[in-house]
Amino acid sequence: MVEQITSTSSVLQSRLAQIRQITQDLTRTLQAQRDLLQTRGDIMISSEGLNGLQQVHDELAELGKRLLGDATEIQQLRALARTTELINSALDLNLILDDVIDTVVAMTGAERGYIILRDTETNRLEIHVARNAEQQNLRPEEILLSYSVIEQVARDGQLIVTNDAANDKGLSNSTSIVGLRLRSILCAPLMRKGHLTGVIYADNRIRTDLFGEREKRLVLAFANQAAVAIENALLFEEVRASLVEITHMKDLMANVFASIPSGVITTDADDLITTFNAAATRILDIPEEDALHQPVWAVLPAPDESL
């Protein structure tokens, strides 16, 4: 459906361009004829027809702009939907972060994009990904951004957009903006249940008026989805790290029990055997797999009541 709409929009834009060219050529022809007749005498030709043609041309141009804007928004929404589906099905944090920032840069026409996340232990904001428009990671010396804007968004939890940072009264006193000569800046919070987990930052050092209302709406909506996916990926990493630690501890305890020369048997609250080391196997002459999960009194020899 999206492809059909995009194709139709392209055809309409092409037809409008042809009609605009025809009206422009006709206007020039009539203008030349009017000028010629006026030089021959007192012949005066009303300019009403020429004005009408010019108005038609201008209206067609405006319609073409609206169609182009609609087609651009459709492409942006398409990219947004694809990436939202991906990030909501993926649990690899690095993959999610790269795809999120690449989508933001492509949707907005930014030169560079960053994702800054809050460290849960130190509460500090740290850059996790920095990419350019070619979907390449920035080198450390290429990472140039306004920390004052980032800190303000992190503090207030509100989107900041400026399309001429050098002349923005609210930002022009920022040392980073003045020194880096930044032009267009967009910084959106990553919020999850009222809690800020980080920010998305995009900028352009050359173009002004880059981020319009369409880009603001798209990035805000996308940031909400991205925040959920990023938090899920972070939780998954924590769980995975915990499982690795538990496995390591389990292996360590198994090695300790295996090295003890005495028989070691451990049970749970129901007196079922959970650990049966090699020495216990040798002493009782019972394989470990036969002892595990069995009642302890079914494995241990019966006590000698004569003693």
170-183 residue pLDDT tens: 665 666 666 667 78
Chain segment 156-207, per-residue pLDDT in tens: 999 998 887 767 776 656 666 666 677 889 999 998 878 888 999 999 888 8
Residues 6 or more apart in contact with residue 101 via CB below 8 angstroms: 113, 114, 115, 129, 131, 200
- Which has more confidence, 13 or 278? 278
pLDDT at 72: 56
CA distance 99 to 88: 12
Q: Which residues pair with 186 in a beta bridge?
A: 161, 202
- Percent of the chain at pLDDT > 70 equals 64
Q: Kindly give the interhelix angle for 48-87 and 93-108, rounded to the nearest 10 degrees.
A: 180
Q: Are 53 and 60 in contact (CB under 8 A)?
A: no
Q: Are 148 and 187 in contact (CB under 8 A)?
A: no
CA distance 207 to 110: 9
Q: What is the DSSP letter of 295?
A: B
Alpha helices in the chain (DSSP H): 2-39, 48-87, 93-108, 147-156, 175-180, 213-259, 278-284, 288-291, 296-299
pLDDT at 5: 37
CA distance 54 to 19: 12
- Which has more confidence, 126 or 173? 126
Q: Are 276 and 265 in contact (CB under 8 A)?
A: yes
Tell me phi and psi for residue 70, to 5 degrees. -65, -40
What average pLDDT does range 92-112 have in this prediction?
85
Q: Which stretch of DSSP H or E encloses residue 118?
A: strand 112-118
